[in-house]
Amino acid sequence: QVQLVESGGGLVRAGDSLRLSCVASGRTFSSDAMGWFRQAPGKEREFVAVLRWTPRSTGYAESVKGRFTISRDNAKNTVYLQMNTLKPEDTAVYYCAAGSYSTNAARYDYWGRGTQVTVSS
């Protein structure tokens, strides 16, 4: 059974940092692109970041570029999202996904259940 499990969310203040983790199990994801998406209340799910291992490539939403960093540890089947200088508008449920290298959520085959990030002003 393929599973993606996110962790690391929480309640922080504007300007703080958080690191989200996503552990994949059930199969090896080294050949997949791993992405992070988020969904705020009343809004559509939106792309945040994506990483492809071979060839190595990353992509970020404009709103998080320079503040967020995606990385992965293939040995641990884990992908991370380091979030710095958090803003209240970053408040959302963050989802990890595995699939094709894309900003389009429909291109991802596997999804986690999400972890809540709340940033107070």
Nearest to 105 by CA among 94, 119, 92: 94
pLDDT of amino acid 32: 85
Q: What is the pLDDT along the chain (121 residues), one digit of tens a residue?
A: 789 999 999 999 999 999 999 999 987 777 789 999 999 999 999 999 999 988 889 999 999 999 999 999 988 989 999 999 999 999 999 999 999 999 999 999 999 999 999 999 9
pLDDT of amino acid 28: 76
pLDDT of amino acid 118: 98
pLDDT of amino acid 81: 98
pLDDT of amino acid 91: 98
Under a CB-based contact definition with an 8 Å cutoff, are residues 43 and 53 in contact?
Answer: no
Nearest to 107 by CA among 2, 35, 30, 31: 35
